[in-house]
A and B are shown apart, each in its own frame.
Chain A
Amino acid sequence: QTVVTQEPSFSVSPGGTVTLTCGLSSGSVSTSYYPSWYQQTPGQAPRTLIYSTNTRSSGVPDRFSGSILGNKAALTITGAQADDESDYYCVLYMGSGIPWVFGGGTKLTVL
C-alpha cells in the first residue's frame, strides 16, 4: 500500500523560510499526482492552501507556494508568521484504489 510521507515536525523562526515536503514510500511525486496542501489549526477544519502542485487557493497569501523539489512535492512558507503555526497535510491523487491519500501531516512550530 502506498504511503505518503511528511516530516512529523518542523520548526521555523518568525520571518524565516521553511519548506515542507511530501513524498511517496515508493516512487517519485510528480504533477500527475495533483499534490494539494491543507493547513489545520487545533479544533478547526482543514483550510485549502495549494492545489495542482502550485496553484494557491482563493485568499491564500503569496508567501505560501507549492512546487516539485526533486522527487517530492513541497510547500514553502516565506516570511513565516506566528499564526502559521499549524499542522500541514499534503494529499496526493492516486487515481485508483484509494483515490486520495493523505500524508501523516507536519506539525509546524514558529518560534
Chain B
Amino acid sequence: QVQLQESGPGLVKPSQTLSLTCTVSGGSISSGDYYWSWIRQPPGKGLEWIGYIYYSGSTYYNPSLKSRVTISVDTSKNQFSLKLSSVTAADTAVYYCARVDVVPYYFDYWGQGTLVTVSS
C-alpha cells in the first residue's frame, strides 16, 4: 500500500520560504507511471493544484504560482519537496502531497496533509 507523508514547519514568517517534504513509502518514486504533486487548501476553501515533478526531475507548475514555486525530487530517499518563496498570509493552507497516475491523470494516493500558517 502506497503511503505519502508530508513534513515541515507549521509556521512560516511572511516573506520567508515555505519548505515541505513528502516521503513516499510502499512504492518507488522512480516509477515512470506517476507524477508527484503538491496541492493546497486554504482554511474553509477549496483545493488548488500547485505543481508536479516527474522522477526524472522535470516539473510543471501552476502559472499563478510559478514565479515562487520550486519542486524537487530525491530518488535516493524516495522523497520530493516543495519550496514556496515570499509567502504571505494568503499562502496559509493545508498542503497535501499526492501521487498522480500519468494516465488517466488522476490523484490516486494522498498524504494526510499538513497545515502551514504564515504569520509573524
Give A residues with C-beta under 8 Å from B.
34, 36, 38, 44-48, 51-52, 55, 57, 89, 91, 93, 97-105
Chain B residue total in the interface (Cβ 8 A): 23
| Cα-based distance from A57 to B107 in the complex (angstroms) | 10
Q: A51-B106, A98-B62 are in contact. List 18 more A-B contacts (CB 8 A).
A: A34-B104, A34-B105, A46-B47, A46-B107, A48-B110, A51-B101, A51-B108, A57-B108, A89-B47, A93-B104, A93-B106, A97-B63, A98-B49, A98-B63, A98-B64, A99-B60, A100-B37, A105-B47
Given A51-B104, A100-B105, A45 and B46 contact (CB-CB distance below 8 Å): no
Contact of B47 among A55, A57, A98, A102 (CB under 8 A): A102
3 A-B pairs with least C-beta separation: A51-B106, A52-B104, A36-B106
Set of chain B residues within 8 Å of A99, measured between Cβ atoms: 49, 52, 60, 105
Give B residues with C-beta under 8 Å from A.
37, 46-49, 52, 60, 62-64, 96, 100-101, 104-113
User: Chain B contact residues: over half helix, strand or loop, or mixed?
Assistant: strand
| Cα-based distance from A97 to B51 in the complex (angstroms) | 11
Whether the pair A105, B46 counts as a contact (CB closer than 8 A) is: yes
> How close is B62's CB to chain A, nearest CB, in angstroms?
6
| Cα-based distance from A101 to B64 in the complex (angstroms) | 12
Contact of A48 among B47, B49, B64, B107 (CB under 8 A): B107
25 A-B contacts, Cβ less than 8 Å apart? A34-B106, A36-B107, A38-B107, A45-B96, A45-B111, A45-B113, A46-B96, A46-B107, A47-B110, A48-B106, A48-B107, A48-B110, A51-B104, A52-B104, A52-B106, A55-B104, A89-B46, A89-B47, A93-B104, A98-B63, A99-B49, A99-B60, A102-B47, A102-B48, A105-B47
